[in-house]
Amino acid sequence: MPRESKANRIRRVADLIAKLKSAYPDADCALRHGNPLKLMVATILSAQCTDKRVNVVTRTLFKKYKTPRDYASAPPGELEDEIRSTGFFRNKAKNIRGACAKIISDFGGKVPRTMDQLLTLPGVARKTANCVLGNAFGVAEGVVVDTHVIRLSGRLGLTKHKDPVKIERDLMELVPPEEWILWSHLLIFHGRAICDARKPDCENCPLAELCPSAGKL
């Protein structure tokens, strides 16, 4: 079977976006937040954890910790206990405290608004930086690549890579920049509703005619 040309993939992505928008008109960031700091913390907590669990934890956490200084000065054990149910809580607490300390020391107490600056914060890689930039500041620097985006991008034949950075690079060549922020939300919603990791519902999938994996999983 001949390899699909990039031009065809770009056209197929445009059709995928149209179908996804129709299927999920309310697709948006699943992590509850009210400002860039809350979103940064929630995204750090979301590593190897469901957004639903993170939202349960942050409901209490955000009432107690409101500023970078609140997190930076929190006793390590206390913050660990607050986020324990998200998993990897010691490392996450260390990163949150470290990121907030750096926000205070280097960025005047404000979450930075550029990719390069965000990537200097402990615990912040491209996924978290893209999430904060896109959803808190409306800045499209790249594409959020989480587990759903990794899985669906492969199944849809948009990348052959497993590494998130390489997957993001592939997606940025195919998805129009004005759709970068929404694209990940659309795939996440679809991953939860239809394209399950273990048993995708290809029979009821609105993307089936555009998906090379339909009926083969």
One pLDDT digit (tens) per residue for the chain, 217 residues: 568 999 999 999 999 999 999 999 999 999 999 999 999 999 999 999 999 999 999 999 999 999 999 999 999 899 999 999 999 999 999 999 999 999 999 999 999 999 999 999 999 999 999 999 999 999 999 999 999 999 999 999 999 999 999 999 999 999 999 999 999 999 999 999 999 999 999 999 999 999 999 998 8
Phi, psi angles (nearest 5°) of residue 173: -85, -20
State the pLDDT at residue 97: 97
State the pLDDT at residue 58: 98
How far is Cα 35 from Cα 201, in angstroms, rounded to an integer?
36
State the pLDDT at residue 2: 65
SS (H, E, C) the chain: CCCCCHHHHHHHHHHHHHHHHHHCCCCCCCCCCCCHHHHHHHHHHCCCCCHHHHHHHHHHHHHHCCCHHHHHCCCHHHHHHHHHHHCCHHHHHHHHHHHHHHHHHHCCCCCCCCHHHHCCCCCCCHHHHHHHHHHHCCCCCCCCCCHHHHHHHHHCCCCCCCCHHHHHHHHHHHCCHHHHHHHHHHHHHHHHHCCCCCCCCHHHCCCHHHCCCCCCC
State the pLDDT at residue 115: 97
Note whether 93 and 87 are within 8 A (CB): no
pTM of this prediction? 0.93
Task: For Cα atoms 216, 188, 197, give the angle at the middle one, nearest 5 degrees.
Answer: 35
**Residue 122: closest CA among 77, 85, 172, 71:** 71
State the pLDDT at residue 76: 81
Return the structure tokens found at 161.
């890579």
How far is Cα 196 from Cα 18, in angstroms, rounded to an integer?
21
